[in-house]
Amino acid sequence: MVNLNRTQVNAEGDLVSNIWPNATPAEEDRLKNFWGTCSSVPLARAGCLQYFETEARVGLEKPLNENVLLLEVGVCPKEERDIKHSIGGRPHAYCLDVNSCTTHEGICRAIRKEGKRVLHLPDTIPNTAGASGTLHYGIVYDDARKKIVFIDVKENKVMSTVDKVDSSQPLWPMFGVYSSGKSPVSMKLVVGSDINMTEEKKAMIVKALA
Domains, the chain, with CATH or none: 7-209 (2.60.120.920)
How much is the pTM? Answer: 0.93
From the first residue on, what is the mean pLDDT of each consecutive set of 10 residues in the chain (210 residues)?
91 88 71 95 87 94 89 97 96 95 88 95 87 95 95 95 95 92 87 93 95
- pLDDT at position 1, please? 92
Rg of the chain (C-alpha set)? 16
State how far the Cα of 85 lies from the Cα of 177, in Å rounded to an integer.
10
pLDDT at 177 (0 to 100): 97
pLDDT given at position 180 = 66
Q: How many residues does the chain have?
A: 210
Q: Are 73 and 139 in contact (CB under 8 A)?
A: yes
Kind and range of the H or E element at 206?
helix 199-209
Q: How far apart are CA 190 and CA 176, in angstroms?
A: 15
**What pLDDT, on a 0 to 100 scale, did the predictor assign at position 26?**
63
